[in-house]
Amino acid sequence: MALLQTHDVVAHEVYSDEALRVTPPPTSPYLNGDSPESINGDMDMENVTRVRLVQFQKNTDEPMGITLKMNELNHCIVARIMHGGMIHRQGTLHVGDEIREINGISVANQTVEQLQKMLREMRGSITFKIVPSYRTQSSSCE
């Protein structure tokens, strides 16, 4: 019985209205503070970019098995994935994916050579922020 009473006291302290109001509610659910309706009057979905975080472990000198290139807009693109390589085995990146950041470091204004050197030297947890390519998915029954 004492355990249930203790639970009720803790639950009241943690979940009561006073406890929940410690952090003020956000003033706007949008990052820039303005809703899309206040800018254009309607949602402009053309400017929305889907971003994904891809994370994996690299604890050896094994090559990652990807080739990068810069496109005409100077965005870093996955140009090729070597069959059987680390990235291919994980299936997390695809040809055409745009890499925006590596471990929180922007790839903008860096050369492919600089990025390849950075990736070669990295160990441990590596996180890519990518914009997925919109390729057509082939069915598995072909």
CA dihedral 99, 113, 120, 102 (to 10 degrees): -20
Extents of the domains making up the chain? 52-131
For residue 77, CA distances in Å to 60, 100, 123 come to 24, 9, 22
**Distance of alpha carbon 113 from alpha carbon 117, whole angstroms:** 6
What architecture does CATH give domain 52-131? Roll (2.30)
> Which residue type sits at 125?
S
- List, for residues 6-65, the tens digit of each pLDDT value: 656 555 554 544 444 444 445 555 555 555 554 554 555 566 678 999 998 888 888 889
CA 19, 21, 24, 27 torsion-angle sign: positive
Global pTM reads: 0.60
